[in-house]
């Protein structure tokens, strides 16, 4: 309550009005709320009248909106006089899941699997199974319940109605981006967050207490679902939480099941138990299927398998089971798991400590660094080329950093909506249209001959949708369907979740992020017929419709308010993560330079998945300068920089023409192609007493026969039996 109260007063303070006006408003708000936890209906009347009176006296009607906002946040006594709402109980401070002590290592080598210890003063920050944080105050009814009524009394339009009337089922293809872009964007989403939900497989009882049942109800005239006599779309309730500090006061929070950082938790897992399940525990490898090098099997009730199952099809196990939603995202997961195994296999013959744990963690560190580089060097600039995303600043890796890498509640809603807007309705494989809504939870395509290769090529040629308010039918009418009419509306689900998350209305969100407190909305066209019909009162416009009504910023795929949110979130994920690849001390300058060679195109080539690829993998190859290249022509990282091979001590093997010859041996890991950095032979002046000694030819022969690194100036091994041996030594004499 205090947070929102402070906000309300701050808004008044920013409206450029006289001290007397501000004081009168403060007095009106605080009159009865200082001794009670909720405002009264009398307060509502007085504050509203004050707002309207001020509006007619040239005080902007924005005050009216703020008054209503505050009342909604504090609650209104008697609003539901005949029902005692019993939403999910907050976790008590006596049973706080975020209070057990976590002991963080002083100088960690690898990031913990569960995302803990990003901050020594707050070890739970960024950990899996912890709540989101808020960039703006929450907006609920009575601090707890989803806001589904207008500030001015009537019910707000239902989520399905908003989906139909505003996020219309239509296609608007991009001329730049391929379907690789939304697929990779979803992959990033699955890495960063997954809101914890209770079961939502069927509609709950409408007679349950307000706030406990959040079904999406449909009209008898619904243009799609009425054909199948569907009256309701089920929506699993969100698991409630307190804030990370477990204070009882404050609004309901939501839990992120995944780690909050860019750490590929979707393939490595967000808990030790899941991570162990995904590993072979041999040579640092992740599990793959025995045939076709696909992901391991997972028994999933939603899985749609061919009958008869002649190809041993199965749904997949991964760090996030949303891997199974459709073949496009299945492919992206598979590529990254294969890439990890490629790196791990190289490390097996590169590092001295060849234990499974060391190989796994080293490979994981390299692959995460490559992934982070792609996110900041390719993906984010594709969405927003105006922001300087790369190179990130060299941040100290101190675990007491002020910035915490935690996902913002509203970011999880907005980013999902951005991703959904880009998803295409179909791809084409072997000249056959494959509709997305026909392959939900269906892995069959991956098990066909060259299945992964064909899926990747199909995504490269399919056009992504523009980032706009339009979403394809495969998401708005038939999302996750098994048979016609059995699916749901993903956009409506996201809108309902926005209410359950306590997302503020657009006007408050816009004001706070843009630091504009005069009530004007220059970024949004409030005259849009769709928006006006849904929200007759501007103050009622909800977060997602408002943000998607903003005109895109030049060189950005979305409006300015969304840009501010995206900039802030990815800045926090970069600067608050002590393990972020470019932060000081994480990688040596040589290794960092090597990681920066990474491109998504090269990753898509990993393990023979493709033969050729557009260098800018997120874009169509028809884009100027993006003609496909052979995979072998793309730069790869030199894994030998992570080599732990080392030299033996120098050995004096004799004196020749007054020059002492010293050699050393490179202790190569068996099977490695990596050599020691430096020279295997050096020359020093002989002591006078040894001037007449001759070189030990047998020793050199033995060294050259065993250690091929002993090269001469022409790149060939020194051979004392060659006639030019003496000449070579003379030329190399200091």
- 566 vs 24, residue with greater confidence: 566
User: What average pLDDT score do residues 438-445 get?
Assistant: 97
CA distances from 530 to 500, 553, 576, 649 (A): 23, 22, 40, 78
**Per-residue model confidence (pLDDT) at position 676:** 77
> End of a domain among 62, 79, 96?
79
Question: 409-422 and 490-500 helices cross at what angle (nearest 10)?
Answer: 170
300 near 441, Cβ under 8 Å?
yes
The answer to whether position 510 is within a domain reads no
pLDDT over 80 (residue 53): no
Check pLDDT > 50 for residue 34: no
Q: Same structural domain for residues 682 and 701?
A: yes
What is the pLDDT, as a whole number, of residue 88? 39
Q: Are 275 and 167 in contact (CB under 8 A)?
A: no
Tokens found for residue 267 = 């393939």
> What's the pLDDT at 726?
62
Q: Looking at 47, 79, 111, which one is the last position of a domain?
A: 79
Give the mean model confidence (pLDDT) for residues 370-374: 97
On whether both 636 and 717 belong to a single domain, the answer is no
Question: Is the model's pLDDT at 425 over the cut of 70?
Answer: yes
324 and 393 assigned to the same domain? yes
Together in a domain, 364 and 377:
yes
- For residue 61, being part of any structural domain is answered with yes
Q: Given this model, what pLDDT does residue 723 score?
A: 63
Helix (H) / strand (E) containing 653: strand 651-656
Residue 211 has a pLDDT of 58
pLDDT of 648 higher than 70? yes
Return the closest-CA partner of residue 66 out of 120, 122, 28, 18: 28
Q: What residues form DSSP beta bridges with 647?
A: 666
pLDDT tier, 93 (very low <50, low <70, confident <90, very high otherwise)? very low
Q: Is residue 340 part of a domain?
A: yes
Provide, rounded to the nearest whole percent, the portion of the chain with pLDDT above 90: 57
Q: How confident is the model over 532-586, as pLDDT tens digits?
A: 999 999 999 999 999 999 999 999 999 999 999 999 999 999 999 999 999 888 9
- Radius of gyration from C-alpha coordinates of the chain: 31
Question: Is residue 349's pLDDT more than 80?
Answer: yes
Q: Is residue 484 part of a domain?
A: no
Query: What average pLDDT does the segment 664-676 reach?
Result: 76
For β-strands 666-667 and 646-647, DSSP reports them as antiparallel
Please state, rounded to an integer, the average pLDDT across all residues of the chain.
Answer: 82
Q: Say whether pLDDT at 465 is over 70.
A: yes
**What is the C-alpha separation between 32 and 672, in angstroms, rounded?**
76
Residue 181: both structure tokens together: 């872009």
636 with 661, same domain?
A: no
Would you state the pLDDT for residue 265? 98
Output the pLDDT for position 202.
86
**Same domain membership, residue 330 and residue 290:** yes
**416 lies in some domain:** no
- Note whether residue 20 is domain-resident: yes
Mean pLDDT value of segment 76-97: 40
Q: Same structural domain for residues 722 and 613?
A: no
DSSP class of residue 583 equals S
Question: Band of the pLDDT at 30, cuts 50, 70, 90?
Answer: very low
pLDDT value, residue 87: 32
- 716 and 612 in a common domain: no
Predicted pLDDT of residue 426: 96
- Reported as a pLDDT band with limits 50, 70 and 90, residue 92 is very low
Place of tokens 């091994």: 717
Mean of pLDDT values over 465-491 = 96
Residues 294 and 399 in one domain: yes
SS3 letters for 431-498?
Answer: CEEEEHHHCCCCCHHHHCCCHHHHHHHHHHHCEEECCCCCECHHHHCCECCCCCCCCECHHHHHHHHH
724 against 325, higher pLDDT: 325
pLDDT beyond 80 at 445: yes
**End position of a domain, from candidates 25, 57, 79:** 79
Domains identified in the chain, total number: 3
Reported as a pLDDT band with limits 50, 70 and 90, residue 247 is confident
Shared domain check, 662 and 636: no
Tokens at residue 282, please? 């041999």
**Among 17-31, 174-188, 286-300, where is mean pLDDT lowest?**
17-31
Statement: residue 54 has pLDDT above 50: no
pLDDT score, position 657? 62
| Band of pLDDT at residue 656, cut at 50, 70 and 90 | low
Q: Is residue 673 domain-shared with residue 712, that is, in the same domain? A: yes
d(CA 278, CA 285): 9
Q: Is residue 178 part of a domain?
A: no
pLDDT the model gives residue 690: 46
Which of 82-91, 168-177, 391-400 ranks highest by mean pLDDT? 168-177
The percentage of the chain sitting over the pLDDT mark of 70, rounded to a whole number, equals 77
- Are 637 and 655 in the same domain? no
What local confidence, expressed as pLDDT, does residue 722 receive? 63
Residue 152, domain member (yes or no): no
pLDDT band for position 336 (cuts 50, 70, 90): very high
Whether residue 301 is predicted with pLDDT greater than 60 in this model: the reply is yes
pLDDT for position 122: 85
DSSP code, position 288:
-
By residue range, what is the domain housing residue 658? 645-731
Give the residue carrying structure tokens 């979707």.
266
């Amino acid at each position: 309550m205090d947070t929102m109260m402070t906000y309300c007063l701050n808004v008044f303070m920013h409206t450029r009005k006289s001290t007397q006006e501000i004081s009168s408003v403060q007095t009106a708000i605080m009159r009865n709320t200082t001794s009670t936890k909720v405002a009264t209906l009398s307060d509502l009347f007085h504050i509203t009248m004050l707002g309207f009176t001020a509006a007619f006296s040239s005080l902007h009607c924005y005050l009216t909106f703020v008054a209503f906002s505050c009342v909604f946040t504090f609650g209104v006594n008697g609003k539901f006089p005949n029902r005692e709402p019993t939403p999910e109980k907050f976790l008590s401070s006596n049973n706080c899941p975020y209070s057990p002590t976590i002991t963080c290592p002083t100088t960690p080598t690898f990031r913990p699997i569960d995302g803990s210890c990003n901050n020594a003063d707050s070890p739970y920050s960024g950990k899996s199974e912890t709540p989101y944080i808020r960039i703006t105050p929450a907006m609920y009814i009575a601090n707890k319940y989803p806001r589904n009524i207008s500030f001015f009394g009537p019910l707000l339009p239902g989520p399905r109605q908003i989906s139909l009337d505003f996020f219309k089922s239509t296609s608007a293809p991009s001329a730049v981006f391929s379907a690789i872009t939304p697929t990779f964007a979803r992959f990033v989403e699955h890495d960063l967050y997954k809101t914890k939900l209770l079961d939502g497989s069927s509609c709950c009882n409408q007679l349950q207490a307000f706030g406990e049942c959040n079904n999406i109800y449909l009209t008898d005239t619904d243009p799609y679902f009425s054909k199948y006599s569907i009256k309701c779309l089920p929506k699993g309730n969100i698991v409630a939480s307190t804030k990370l500090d477990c204070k009882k006061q404050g609004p309901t929070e939501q839990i992120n099941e995944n780690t909050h950082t860019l750490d590929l938790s979707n393939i490595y897992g967000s808990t030790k138990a899941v991570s162990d399940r995904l590993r072979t525990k041999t040579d640092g490898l992740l599990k793959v299927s025995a045939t076709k090098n696909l992901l391991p099997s997972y028994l999933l009730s939603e899985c749609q398998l061919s009958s008869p199952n002649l190809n041993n099809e199965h749904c997949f196990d991964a760090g996030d089971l949303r891997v199974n939603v459709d073949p496009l995202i299945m492919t992206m997961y598979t590529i990254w798991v294969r890439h990890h195994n490629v790196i791990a296999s190289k490390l097996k013959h590169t590092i001295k400590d060849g234990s499974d744990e060391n190989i796994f963690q080293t490979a994981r560190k390299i692959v995460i660094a490559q992934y982070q580089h792609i996110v900041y060097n390719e993906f984010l600039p594709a969405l927003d080329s105006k922001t300087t995303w790369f190179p990130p600043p060299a941040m100290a890796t101190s675990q007491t950093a002020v910035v915490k890498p935690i996902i913002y509640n509203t970011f999880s809603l907005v980013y999902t909506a951005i991703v959904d807007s880009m998803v295409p309705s179909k791809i084409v494989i072997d000249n056959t249209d494959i509709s997305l809504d026909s392959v939900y939870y269906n892995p069959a395509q991956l098990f066909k001959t060259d299945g992964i290769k064909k899926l990747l090529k199909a995504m490269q040629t399919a056009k992504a949708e523009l980032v706009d308010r339009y979403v394809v039918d495969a998401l708005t009418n038939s999302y996750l369907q098994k048979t016609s009419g059995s699916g749901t509306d993903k956009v409506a689900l996201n809108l309902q979740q926005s209410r359950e998350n306590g997302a503020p209305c657009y006007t408050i969100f816009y004001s706070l992020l843009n630091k504009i407190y005069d009530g004007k909305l220059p970024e949004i066209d409030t005259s849009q017929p769709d928006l006006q019909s849904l929200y007759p009162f501007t103050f009622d416009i909800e977060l997602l419709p408002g943000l998607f009504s903003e005109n895109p910023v030049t060189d950005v795929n979305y409006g300015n308010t969304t840009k501010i949110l995206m900039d802030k979130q990815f800045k926090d994920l970069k600067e608050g993560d002590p393990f972020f690849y470019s932060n000081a001390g994480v990688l040596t300058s040589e290794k960092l330079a090597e990681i920066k060679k990474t491109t998504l195109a090269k990753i898509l080539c990993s393990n023979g998945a493709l033969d050729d690829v557009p260098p800018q993998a997120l874009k169509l190859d028809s884009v100027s300068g993006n003609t496909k290249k052979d995979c072998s022509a793309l730069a790869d990282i030199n894994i030998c920089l992570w080599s732990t091979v080392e030299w033996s001590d120098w050995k004096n093997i004799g004196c020749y023409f007054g020059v002492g010859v010293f050699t050393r041996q490179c202790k190569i890991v068996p099977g490695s192609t990596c050599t020691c950095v430096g020279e295997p032979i050096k020359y020093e002046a002989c002591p006078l007493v040894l001037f007449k000694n001759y070189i030990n030819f047998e020793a050199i022969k033995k060294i050259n026969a065993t250690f091929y690194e002993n090269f001469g100036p022409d790149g060939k091994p020194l051979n004392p039996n060659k006639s030019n041996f003496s000449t070579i030594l003379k030329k190399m004499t200091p």
